[in-house]
Amino acid sequence: MPERKVGVLGASSLVGGCLLAQLEEMEWSAIAFSREKRVAIQGGTVEWRQLPAPGMKSMEITCPISHWICVAPIWVLPDYFALIEASGARRLVALSSTSRFTKVGSGDTAENAVAAKLIESEARVQAWADDRGIEWVVLRPTLIYGLARDKNISEMARIICRFGFFPLLGSAQGLRQPIHAEDVAAACVAALRVPSAANRAYNISGGETLAYREMVSRVFTALGRPARLATVPLWAFRLAVAMLRYLPPYRHWSAAMAERMNRDLVFDHTDAACDLGFKPRGFALTAKDVPQ
């Protein structure tokens, strides 16, 4: 990719921030698109542009952008197909999720809907890109964490800080592979550059596989607290979730989340390692990865 210019959708997200930092370090120019209004820093390699709201007139592209990365939810990508096509795009990297597999058949209607949206959106992106001769790469990360901005590990940390303990269902020995946002961003950059990755989808998981219980224990360690884990029966989880969902921060919670504590959610990333040189770190939480 000779231009070293990348269009980034979802640039203000957790992975988007990591991605922009990596592109800047590599001295690539980034056209960062966000629905939020941002002030560009003079002399930097990132040019911020505010996206129009869905349904509004599409913005004009004043310079060609042949390579794109979308780290916004993949289901918003169709809203910007016209923008990407008008830019002369040749390759698009889109971030999906392994939730398309793990939430299928969930006892929670909202989780099933998320899985269906991911599956449908991946198919739409691939069909649209194939029809226009644009190379596509879909990346499906596992549980993303990092920089105290994620909705997974950081939420655990907030519960621990608020209540002093963390509730577990049963032994909570279901296996997990947390992946740091910086490693997700690095995979996006690699997918943009490697010719053989064209028109392929990759699962990308963290560099360490560990039990859910151990994952929570490491959050306590990162917070500098002794691990206090409480085994709670399913009926109590359901009651607590029903009550907590009245509060805005917990509206997305469900009892199905607790039930998965004892399920293995493990994905092989051998293909990404071979094709993209993907080498994720182990789950080594630092203080900057959890809200204090």
217, burial (CB in 10 Å: exposed 0-12, middle 13-18, buried 19+): middle
**What would the pLDDT profile of 75-133 be if each residue is shown by its tens digit?**
999 999 999 999 999 999 999 999 999 998 887 888 899 999 999 999 999 999 999 99
| C-alpha torsion angle, residues 237, 239, 244, 250 (rounded to 10) | 40
Rounded to an integer, the average pLDDT of 59-76 is 88
Could you tell me which residue, 47 or 186, shows the higher pLDDT?
Answer: 186
Q: Does domain 5-284 have CATH number 3.90.1150.10?
A: no
- Which residues, in sequence order, are CB contacts of 39 under 8 Å at separation 6+? 48
For 223-262, what is each residue's pLDDT tens digit? 999 999 999 998 888 888 788 777 777 777 777 888 899 9
Q: What is the mean pLDDT of the chain?
A: 91
Cα 61 to Cα 66: distance, rounded to the nearest angstrom: 12
Domain ranges of the chain: 5-284
Q: Kindly report, residue by residue over 6-21, the tens digit of the pLDDT.
A: 999 999 999 999 999 9
At 2, is the pLDDT very low, low, confident or very high (cuts 50, 70, 90)? Answer: very low
pLDDT for residue 267 is more than 90: yes
**Stretch 47-74: mean pLDDT:** 81
Measure the CA–CA gap between 260 and 153, rounded to whole angstroms.
15
Residue with tokens 């910086």: 182
User: Would you state the torsion angle of the CA atoms of residues 214, 219, 221, 222, taken in this order, to the nearest 10 degrees?
Assistant: 140
Instruction: Give the pLDDT confidence score for residue 228 in this predicted structure.
Output: 97
Question: What average pLDDT score do residues 263-273 get?
Answer: 97
Contact 7, 67 (CB under 8 A): yes
Helices marked H in the chain: 14-25, 81-86, 99-102, 109-132, 153-163, 181-193, 212-222, 234-244, 255-259, 270-276
